[in-house]
């Protein structure tokens, strides 16, 4: 059983999430590059953020921030501010995956409150 697989592959996720993606497979690089140009024309080329390969030593929260920027924020937790100050008693929601603050909310039902 000698099955040949494409040597090159390019994929792009749609809508800032991992639910949908486009994949290009090609046997040579020129074919891959040409197909990528076609996809870029169809989708309208998006500006891509530069990829940081290491966490800067002076930014300990860098990894958390990177995760928050790429997270689709699809599930949430609701909390009440307990710390004394102007927001004490207010309710807010955060992303259950990356913990990013999403918004201030009205008082939730007991089923929506995070433990």
32 vs 11: CA distance, rounded Å: 11
Q: In this structure, is the dihedral angle defined by the CA atoms of residues 25, 28, 29 and 31, taken in order, positive or negative? A: negative
Output the tens digit of pLDDT for each of the chain's 115 residues.
456 767 788 887 776 667 778 888 888 888 888 888 888 777 776 555 555 555 566 666 766 777 778 888 888 889 999 999 999 999 999 988 888 899 999 987 766 555 5
Under 8 Å between Cβ of 23 and 9 = yes
Q: What is the DSSP string of 42-87?
A: HH-PPPPPPPP-S--TT-TTHHHHHHHHH----SEEEEE--SSSTT
Helix, strand, coil shares of the chain as percentages rounded to 5? 25, 25, 50
Q: What is the pTM of this model?
A: 0.43
């Amino acid at each position: 059983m000698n099955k040949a697989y494409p040597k090159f592959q390019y994929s792009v996720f749609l809508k800032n999430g991992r639910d949908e993606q486009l994949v290009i497979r090609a046997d040579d690089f020129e074919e891959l590059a040409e197909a990528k140009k076609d996809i870029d024309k169809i989708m309208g080329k998006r500006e891509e953020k530069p990829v940081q390969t290491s966490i800067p030593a002076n930014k300990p929260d860098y990894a958390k921030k990177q995760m928050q920027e790429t997270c689709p924020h699809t599930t949430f937790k609701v909390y009440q501010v307990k710390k004394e100050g102007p927001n004490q008693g207010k309710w807010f929601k955060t992303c259950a995956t990356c913990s990013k603050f999403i918004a201030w909310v009205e008082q939730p039902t007991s089923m929506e409150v995070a433990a």
